[in-house]
Amino acid sequence: MKLEAQNAPHTESELIEKAMQIAGLNLTQLAEIAGVSVPENLTRDKGWTGQLLEWHLGATAGSKPVPDFEFLGIELKTIPVDRNGQPLETTYVCVAPLTGCSGQTWMTSPVRIKLNRVLWIPVLAERDIPVAQRLIGYPILWSPNPEQDAALQADWEELMDMIVLGKVNQITAKTGEYLQIRPKAANSRVKTTGIGESGELIETLPRGFYLKKNFTKQILNMI
DNA sequence: GCATGATCATTA
DNA sequence: TAATGATCATGC
């Protein structure tokens, strides 16, 4: 999908307004407006919905490591939900640093910065609904409350401790209550540098931070 | 390889 | 059947 950027929103209310305007539309309607075709399935187009929404809302960052709405400091996340508004998938946050992170703190961590302010766009996307018929839901502009921030911090610190102490290969998706670390790579043969059990550098699978469904569920149900 | 956007598909 | 581990596309 090749899309030239639309006009970026100048204010938060302008962004919300745009998001409200596309709520209730299906992906066929959005694709027509954008001038792209709808894929049969998302197997080879896993980021398609997200990129389509970025276009409609005028996100500017592209593949740069900055918020989608840089000027507003807002990150855009589409989230697949079932008919009851419950999340169907975990939510990718950012890459998990595996080296050079011994002095990092939660307050300045990429995870916290990414999640500081997020515009969530639910998409009714049960697997048996054809991509073309999936519906856009109402937007939720969210920032973590103190309890959520503390919960994420606890998981983040547990996970980062393991990375720093050379236990990256002992981390599984079960580690962490709300924040987890899972592979984030083209395939399982991809390697990056990490810290081994004796403090040496090792080759290991690149990982990313993800929000578990039990966390995003809270956000979606807080409306 | 890493950063963007995530969902797929096998396993437990 | 939900969750974990694996995977897909794209740009630089």
How far: A206 CA to C9 C1' (Å)?
A: 18
Q: Where in chain A are the domains?
A: 12-220
Rounded to the nearest integer, the mean pLDDT of chain A is: 95
The percentage of chain A sitting over the pLDDT mark of 90, rounded to a whole number, equals 89
User: Closest residue by Cα to the C1' atom of nucleotide C4?
Assistant: A173
Task: Please state the φ and ψ torsions of residue A21, each to the nearest 5 degrees.
Answer: -65, -30
Q: Is the pTM of this model over 0.85?
A: yes
CA angle A216, A66, A110 (to 5 degrees): 55
CA angle A76, A80, A82 (to 5 degrees): 145
Task: Please state the φ and ψ torsions of residue A42, each to the nearest 5 degrees.
Answer: -105, 10
Chain B: nucleotides under 7 Å from a protein CB? 1-9
Chain C: nucleotides under 7 Å from a protein CB? 3-12
Residues of A (77-96) placing their beta carbon closer than 7 angstroms to any atom of strand B are 77-80, 89-90, 92, 94-95
Q: Per-residue pLDDT tens for A196-219?
A: 999 999 999 999 999 999 999 999
With a cut of 80, say whether residue A1 has pLDDT above it.
no
CATH superfamily of A12-220: DNA mismatch repair MutH/Restriction endonuclease, type II (3.40.600.10)
Q: Per-residue pLDDT tens for A78-101?
A: 999 999 999 999 999 999 999 999
Instruction: Concatenate the DSSP letters of all residues of A120-162 into one string.
Output: EEEEE--TTS-GGG-EE---EEE---HHHHHHHHHHHHHHHHH
How far: A166 CA to C9 C1' (Å)?
A: 32
A195 vs A202: CA distance, rounded Å: 6
How far: A161 CA to C9 C1' (Å)?
A: 33
How far: A67 CA to B5 C1' (Å)?
A: 13
Residues of A (94-113) placing their beta carbon closer than 7 angstroms to any atom of strand B are 94-95
